Amino acid sequence: MKHIKRILLVDDDVDLLEQTKMLLLSHGYEVETADSSEEGYKKFLEYKPDAALIDLMMEEHDSGFILSYKMRKDPHGKTMPIIMMTSATYITNYKFDVQTNEEKEWLKCDAVLNKPVVLEDLIQKLDSFTK
C-alpha cells in the first residue's frame, strides 16, 4: 500500500483539532485541518490526502459517517484509509471497532479510534495501513 504522508484532519472542536495536528506534525506527517464536515469534504477534494481522520459527532451525531460515505463515492476516497474518531464508546458503553472487510465496507472506514486520541494508537493505526 501507498506510503502515508499527507493527512486530512476533520473535527469541529478547534482545540482538539490543533492538538491532534501538533501530534501528527511531531511525527513528520503533513496535516490539513477542517472544523466542519462541509469544510472537510472541500479540503478532501482539493488536497487529496493519503489518509483522513474524521470526528464522528460534529454538527449531527453521525456527521462523520456521512462525510466518509461521501468520500468513498469519490475515486480518490475509494482506497484512501479513513479513521473515525469517536467518544461514543464512553457514552453507550458499546465498544465498536472495525475488523473484518465487511465491517469496513459497512461503516465506510478502516479503523476506529477512541477519543481522546492516544498518540501511540494513532501512529500504530496509520502504520498498519502502509504494511
Partner 1 sequence: MSPEDKPRVLVIDDEDSLRIGVKRLLELEGYDVDTAENGTEGIRKGSSGEYDLAVIDLKMPDIGGIDVLKHLREKKPNTVYFIATAFASYDTAVQATKMGADGYIPKPFTSEELYHHLENGYKKRKLIIEAERLRQDRERRLLEVHFERTRLNTIINSLADGVLVVNKDGQAVLYNPAALKYLQLDEINIEEYVINKLPPEISVIINQYLYTKNYNPNSYSAQVELKPEHQLFAEVTCSPVPHPDKSLAGVVTVIKDITEFKRLEHLKSQFVSMVAHELKAPIAATLGFINILTNEKLKVTDEQKLDFLNRSSSRLTGLLNMVNDLLDMSRLEMKTNVREIKELDVKEIIQDVINLFQFEIEKKKLKVDFIITEPVMKLNADQTEIQRLVTNLVSNAIKYNREEGKIDVNLACSSNYLVIKVKDSGIGLKEQEKNKLFSEFFRAKNEHTKNIHGTGLGLSLVKKIVDSYSGKIEVESEYGKGTEFSVHIPLKKR
Task: Determine if 92 is a binding residue for partner 1 (CB under 8 A).
Answer: yes
Which residue shows C-alpha cell 485541518? 33
- State the nearest-atom distance from the C-beta of 75 to partner 1, in Å: 29
Member of 4, 31, 36, 47 binding partner 1 (CB under 8 A): 36
From the list 130, 131, 112, 110, the residue with the least C-alpha distance to 121 is 112
What the block records as the C-alpha cell of 101 is 472487510
Find out whether 19 and 33 touch, Cβ atoms under 8 Å.
no
Kindly identify the residues of this chain, within the stretch 2-21, that bind partner 1 according to CB under 8 A. 12-16, 19-20
Cα–Cα dist 124/101, whole Å: 19
Cα–Cα dist 18/40, whole Å: 15
Member of 48, 74, 90, 121 binding partner 1 (CB under 8 A): 90
- State the nearest-atom distance from the C-beta of 110 to partner 1, in Å: 23
Q: Residue numbers of the site for partner 1 (CB under 8 A)?
A: 12-16, 19-20, 22-23, 26, 35-36, 57, 59, 61, 87, 90-92, 115-117, 119
